């Protein structure tokens, strides 16, 4: 069987080189500028966005739970007296950042809730 001239001798080497360079260039352009992404990167980004959405949605609930708790004025004074970097722990320990369906408080919600409550808004 006779091979086409493109697959014979020097032409075959050039064809393979062209295929390798072309596929490498396609991948570089696709991942670099074309918006191609690996599934792990997509999942990581989705998780960050979901957590941000949860914090945005649950922070007002945390603030309301705090404001409707017993002895809110004393608790508010205690929160403001707490060091700024420990206020989220104060909110977590108070249970205001723990929601139905979870046994652990949401640390992002606790941080945002403590910021709003300590700013007096």
The number of C-alpha atoms within 13 Å of 45 and in the hemisphere containing its C-beta is 6
Among 115, 114, 116, 109, CA closest to 54:
109
- The pLDDT, as a whole number, for residue 23 is 94
Return the closest-CA partner of residue 119 out of 58, 66, 44: 66
The three-class DSSP label of residue 105 is coil
Q: Does 73 have pLDDT greater than 80?
A: yes
Closest CA to 65 of 94, 86, 104, 87: 94
What confidence score (pLDDT) does residue 53 get? Answer: 97
Note the pLDDT tens digit of each residue in 32-44.
Answer: 888 888 889 899 9
The mean per-residue pLDDT over the stretch 112-120 comes to 90
Lowest mean pLDDT among 12-16, 27-31, 65-69: 12-16
The SS3 assignment for 98 reads coil
Q: What is the mean pLDDT of residues 65-75?
A: 91
Domain ranges of the chain: 1-36, 39-119
């Amino acid at each position: 069987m006779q091979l086409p001239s493109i697959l014979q001798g020097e032409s075959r080497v050039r064809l393979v080189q062209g295929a390798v360079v072309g596929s490498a260039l396609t991948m570089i352009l696709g991942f670099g500028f074309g918006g191609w992404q690996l599934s792990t990167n997509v999942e990581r980004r989705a998780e960050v966005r979901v957590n941000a959405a949860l914090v945005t949605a649950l922070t007002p609930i945390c603030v309301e739970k705090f404001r409707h708790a017993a002895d809110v004025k004393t608790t508010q004074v205690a929160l403001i007296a707490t060091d700024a970097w420990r206020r989220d722990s104060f909110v977590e320990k108070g249970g205001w950042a723990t929601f139905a369906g979870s046994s652990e408080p949401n640390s992002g919600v606790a941080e945002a809730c403590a910021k709003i409550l300590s700013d007096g808004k």
